[in-house]
Amino acid sequence: MDTYAVHLAMAALVGASFVAVSAYYMHRKTLNQLLEFAKSVERESDETTPRTTTTRRSIPRSTPRSGGATAAGGRGMAITAALRRPVTLPLLFKIIGNALEKQQACLKYNGEIANQDVVDVEVVDSTIVILAASGCHWKSPSHASSTKRAGHLIRPTSPKSPVASASAFESVEGSDDEDNMTDNAKLNAYIHTNGNVVPECNSLFKDLPSQNNANGEQIPIAASSMIRSHSVSGDLHGVQPDPVAADILRKEPEHETFVRLNITPNEMPSPEEADVYRNLQACLELRQSYVFREAITPWEKEVISDPSTPKPNPSPFDYTPEGKSDHYFKMEDGVAHVYANEDSKEKLFPVADATTFFTDLHHILKVIAAGNIRTLCHHRLVLLEQKFSLHLMLNADREFLAQKSAPHRDFYNVRKVDTHVHHSACMNQKHLLRFIKSKLRKEPDEVVIFRDGTYLTLKEVFESLDLTGYDLNVDLLDVHADKSTFHRFDKFNLKYNPCGQSRLREIFLKQENLIQGMSLFSHLSEMLKLHVEKGFSFLFCRFLAELTKQVFSDLAASKYQMAEYRISIYGRKMSEWDQMASWIVNNDLYSENVVWLIQLPRLYNVYKEMGIVTSFQNILDNIFLPLFEVTVDPDSHPQLHVFLKQVVGLDLVDDESKPERRPTKHMPTPAQWTNIFNPAFSYYVYYCYANLYTLNKLRESKGMTTIKFRPHTGEAGDIDHLAASFLTAHNIAHGINLRKSPVLQYLYYLAQIGLAMSPLSNNSLFLDYHRNPFPMFFSRGLNVSLSTDDPLQIHLTKEPLVEEYSIAASVWKLSSCDLCEIARNSVYQSGFSHALKSHWIGKEYYKRGPDGNDIHRTNVPRIRLEFRDLIWREEMQLVYLGNASFAEYMEP
């Protein structure tokens, strides 16, 4: 109940997230520093006649050229900036040495420099710096930079720490104050540098203006406030107020120029390398042959001409009868095949069979294990990371200026989708607590449970636990993941039990005490099943539905946050689908900010043990046959039909770290799978994929929405999980094990497969936060987004998604540009409709590269996307040996 209760109370009371609160404090702190700083400047200029050197010594990094604009943030900020991205310069050179020397490559900065900085400046000089390191010519044109005008000393600091380079100077941090050479003298000193580059380079980079706004981990909103406070405080130094902010706003964001990073690899890969690349090509082509893609892309189907906000669907659950089609389907070896009619012999939508799939999977596994391929991919990945660091050094400043000049948008009002969150854990614990208390107060006499032959009301349940509503607090609720759950999935499941009392859980979150170990993913349908059978149908469902509605309205209130909730279908009965659909429809669970995913717990062995199923085929039948039925004849399950319009994906969940046997090329068919062991992950993957593939083809041919395959993969367990998803999945949740396989990681990069990562959740279960590969994946250019996974166990504030972003931003020193890019990725990865996506991230979002970006909506500068696109194309060209072809549009 100590600090975190205070935090909660604070969040609840103020009605704001931590973020906002801390932003406020940070902002205030900054202002104070600013004032302090201003005073000291005044003091000094009083004492002495303007002696630049003295004045400048008293101000950290005060020369504009040396990134002096940090000044506004004060020393503390500058130091935090220095911690960003632990890439040291020596390392940089070492890598260039290794990776490029070997390939006889050269690293050049081909800078096309902005001729004018946005801040009104005079260009001081431009000098070309050549550094010879390992035979590479590194040209860095010096940058246009501001002259030393007092007004600039307090140029508004950017709310981000732009540069990887900053961290390169850990060793020299603190030496800034001593730095009293003139800029020219300094530059000249480096021009003569040769070989022994390290210390000089440190200072050289300090000179790049890209660091100007080096500044700690503040959150974006601080930016605007600081700009404002700057202009309000006005004449701090006895000079005219600096019209910086206004200037920035007048500037067209699109006009930012981009310092291109031109790293030319060896034109001709050696024969061995070419061989490796051909192997990678083959893997990419295999993926192309498996993954379901819509034949007609959403943007071809529906051209959005009206740029205004799409109107909310007034009656999302209305059913208009649609005719039955003649299609005939039947399960053959675990995969449902569709025929034009009952007599037809020709499969309408052929899909790769299991043997082919497992053969291809083995091929991929062989490729990713080969030593030379691993080495090369590792090199490429490290190089990608370094390129991003260089990009930040050169362009971070420009990126931030572009962001500032995009009117209205900041991190808070760009759209972000929580791409991975489980519905049963979608509220935070305080919310759950309040809900329980309010139910106890308002509806104590509802009969809520049938236990040991008696019906108990809510009040009686609490009495039997010897609890009153007043006793309840978050600690007692005890659903939070803490240290004891680290690496212990079984304990984690226990945590899912409010008050350690399964009775409460049964009521509010519904627990199966029937099935050990299922509680983590136990969901609605289970509750429905238990209670429908016992004649309670509506009550329990009503509680969960009410809670869900409250969560929906929180989302709607935040406006810029969306979520994709995952609810379970277990595959124990065919009626599960109808129960789920009627729960959704009858409770009117609809929100413009929400779409649904279905998650399938991989629990064959449990059901088998309980005698619910006889073979794996039963599960497949229970899951997929109702879907085919409703697709062929919507009238057969009208509620399911309307519910499926809001289902965008199918997920597979369970603890991946359970041991499993490696799949072989010839696996028993699902009907033959009658033993008590759970099939391997890839076995589940194949059968879900194949059934979903034919289902989607059928749905597409009938003009219905499709359901993408988006499993949990690579959270733990073997690497073949990730290989199986590489072949079949649209995007995946987690993927942290990609850090163990450079080849797969590189393939995921090339194919730009989406990863919905949840570093906080991983913190409590499998991987410490600071070891999470998220920042590495992000800088390498993988398609990553941040998601919450289980707010009930993990997050403390009312806006779990923002909490996730905020912690990532401060731990990994992500800039506001980074955050907005991640948010933009999350919209791409999500299953929201074409109309909504165009509204959220830009009319032409489906175009590749910077053309698809609209900074007015995403707040991501063109420069960033140009960089990502350029680097990705280079990489593809390399892998395709110069013969890559690029589609103009993204893959749907």
Ligand X SMILES: *[C@@H]1O[C@H](CO)[C@@H](O)[C@H](O)[C@H]1NC(C)=O
Which residues contact Zn ion by CB under 5 A? 789
Quick one: 205 or 872, whose CB is closer to ligand X? 872
Which residues inside 744-783 make contact with ligand X, applying CB under 6 A? 752, 754, 783
* Nearest residue to 716 (alpha-carbon basis) of 687, 737, 731, 740: 737
Which of 744, 738, 732, 685 lies closest to 716 in space, CA to CA? 738
Which residue number, 183 or 803, has a Cβ lying nearer to Zn ion?
803
Task: Indicate the residue among 423 and 862 with the shorter CB distance to Zn ion.
Answer: 423
* 178 lines the binding site for ligand X (CB under 6 A): yes
Query: Could you write out the three-class secondary structure of 398-431?
Result: HHHHHHHCCCCCCHHHCCEEEEEEEHHHCCCHHH
Instruction: Of 365, 223, 347, give the one whose Cα is nearest residue 283.
Output: 365
The answer to whether 327 is annotated as binding is no
**524 or 870: whose CB is closer to ligand X?**
870
In the residue annotation, 734 being an active-site residue is answered as yes
Residue 683 or 828 having the CB closest to ligand X: 828
Residue 731 partner contact from Zn ion, ligand X, none using kind-dependent CB cut-offs of 5 to 8 Å: ligand X
Q: Within 10 A of 678 (CB to CB), how many other CB atoms are there?
A: 21
**Residue 133: its H or E element:** strand 128-133
Pick the stretch among 174-182, 394-402, 531-539, 545-553 that binds ligand X (CB under 6 A): 174-182
372 binding partner (options Zn ion, ligand X, none; Cβ < 5 to 8 Å by kind): none
Is residue 376 annotated as involved in ligand binding?
no
159/495 Cα distance (integer angstroms): 38
Nearer to ligand X, 246 or 274 (CB): 274
User: Helix or strand or coil: residue 333?
Assistant: coil
Q: Tokens in use for 697?
A: 């083809």
Give the Cα separation of 819 and 379 in Å (integer): 27
Which of 327, 734, 834, 839 is labelled catalytic? Answer: 734
Give the nearest distance from C-beta 843 to ligand X in angstroms.
16
CA distance 704 to 721: 30
Applying CB under 6 A, among 32, 110, 180, 313 the residue interacting with ligand X is 180
What one-character DSSP code corresponds to residue 851?
G
891: three-class secondary structure by DSSP: coil
Burial class (CB in 10 A: 0-12, 13-18, 19+), 133: buried
- The residue among 789 and 854 lying less far from Zn ion, judged by its C-beta, is 789
Please tell me whether 204 is known to bind a ligand.
Answer: no
Asked if residue 467 belongs to a known ligand binding site, the reply is no
* Least spacing, CB of residue 886 vs ligand X, in Å: 11
766 neighbors 715 (Cβ within 8 angstroms): yes
Q: Are 133 and 195 in contact (CB under 8 A)?
A: yes
- Nearest Cα neighbor of 146 from 28, 85, 66, 226 is 66
What 8-state DSSP symbol labels residue 478?
A: -
In whole angstroms, the minimum distance from the beta carbon of 754 to ligand X comes to: 3
Closer CB to ligand X, 403 or 853, in the complex:
853
Residue 715 annotated in ligand binding: yes
* DSSP helix/strand/coil, 732: strand
Instruction: Tell me whether residue 792 is annotated as binding.
Output: yes
Q: Tell me if 162 is assigned to a ligand binding site.
A: no
Q: Known binder of ligand: residue 721?
A: no
Sign of the CA dihedral 84, 90, 93, 97?
A: negative
Among 593, 737, 829, 853, contact with ligand X (rule: CB under 6 A):
829
The partner in contact with residue 789, picked from Zn ion, ligand X, none with C-beta cut-offs of 5 to 8 angstroms by kind, is: Zn ion
Minimum distance from CB of 297 to ligand X (Å)?
11
Here the contacts of 339-348 (C-beta below 8 Å, separation 24 or greater) are: 348/697, 348/698, 348/701
Region binding ligand X by CB under 6 A among candidate stretches 78-86, 165-173, 451-459, 883-891: 883-891
Which is it for strands 647-653 and 594-601: parallel, antiparallel or unpaired? parallel
Of 734 and 839, which CB lies nearer to Zn ion in the complex structure?
734
Q: Is 410 annotated as a binding residue?
A: no
Q: How far apart are CA 271 and CA 363, in angstroms?
A: 21
Beta bridge partners of 106: 264
CB of 257 to ligand X, least distance (A): 23
638: contact with ligand X by CB under 6 A? no
The answer to whether the annotation marks 494 as part of a ligand binding site is yes
Query: 141: annotated binding-site residue?
Result: no
Residue 789 Cβ, how far from Zn ion at the closest point, in Å? 4
> What size, in residues, is the chain?
892
The site partner of 772 among ligand X, Zn ion, none (C-beta below 5 to 8 Å per kind) is none
Output the smallest distance, CB 299 to ligand X, in A: 12
For Zn ion, the closer of residues 789 and 799 by Cβ is: 789
Secondary structure of residue 566 in the 3-state scheme: strand
- Cβ of residue 801: shortest distance to ligand X, in angstroms? 17
Q: Which stretch binds ligand X (CB under 6 A): 175-183, 298-306, 401-409, 480-488?
A: 175-183
Q: Kindly state the helix (H) or strand (E) to which residue 563 belongs, with its residue range.
A: strand 561-568
Judge whether 493 is annotated as a binding position: yes
- 178's contact among Zn ion, ligand X, none, with CB below 5 to 8 A by partner kind, is ligand X
State the nearest-atom distance from the C-beta of 732 to ligand X, in Å.
Answer: 8
Whether 203 and 166 have beta carbons less than 8 Å apart is answered as: no
Q: Is residue 277 part of the contact set for ligand X (CB under 6 A)?
A: no
| Cα 764 to Cα 263: distance, rounded to the nearest angstrom | 40
Q: What are the residues whose beta carbons fall under 8 Å from the beta carbon of 116, sequence distance 6 or more?
A: 123, 144
Q: Say whether residue 47 binds ligand X (CB under 6 A).
A: no
883 binds, among ligand X, Zn ion, none (CB under 5 to 8 A by kind): ligand X
- The answer on whether 422 is annotated among ligand-binding residues is yes
Buried b (16+ CB within 10 A) or exposed e, 293-303: eeeeebbeeee
For residues 708 and 650, give the distance between their C-alpha atoms in angstroms, rounded to a whole number.
6
| Interface with ligand X, residue 828, by CB under 6 A | yes
In angstroms and rounded to an integer, the radius of gyration of the C-alpha atoms of the chain is 29
Q: If binding is defined by CB under 6 A, does position 731 make contact with ligand X? A: yes
Please check if 235 is assigned to a binding site.
no
What are the angstrom distances between the C-alpha of 861 and each of 30, 250, 400, 405, 820?
26, 16, 8, 10, 9
Instruction: Find the part of the chain contacting ligand X (CB under 6 A) among 176-184, 625-633, 658-666, 832-840.
Output: 176-184
Contact flag: residue 883 with ligand X (CB under 6 A)? yes
Please report how close the Cβ of residue 170 comes to ligand X at its closest, in angstroms: 19
| Residue 783 contact among Zn ion, ligand X, none, beta carbon within 5 to 8 Å by kind | ligand X
- Which of Zn ion, ligand X, none is residue 157 near (CB under 5 to 8 Å by kind)? none
User: Given the structure tokens 């990994």, which residue do they identify?
Assistant: 812
Q: What number of chain residues touch ligand X (CB under 6 A)?
A: 14
> Which two three-digit tokens encode residue 602?
């991989």
CB atoms closer than 10 angstroms to residue 307: 8
Does the protein bind ligand X through residue 890 (CB under 6 A)? yes
- Does 281 contact ligand X by CB under 6 A? no
For the segment 468-497, give every residue that binds ligand X (CB under 6 A). none
For ligand X, the closer CB: 586 or 752: 752
Q: Does the annotation flag 789 for ligand binding?
A: yes
CB of 302 to Zn ion, least distance (A): 31
**CA 220-481-807 angle, 5° bins:** 10
- Residue 279 makes contact with ligand X by CB under 6 A: no
**Apex 725 CA angle, 720 and 728, nearest 5:** 130
Q: Which residue has the CB atom at the shortest distance from Zn ion?
A: 789
Is 706 an interacting residue with respect to ligand X (CB under 6 A)? no
Among all residues, which ones are annotated catalytic? 734
The binding site consists of: 420, 422, 491-496, 712, 715, 789-793
The binding site for Zn(2+) consists of: 420, 422, 712, 789
The binding site for substrate consists of: 422, 491-496, 715, 790-793
Q: Which residues bind ligand X (CB under 6 A)?
A: 178, 180-181, 730-731, 752, 754, 783, 828-829, 883, 885, 890-891
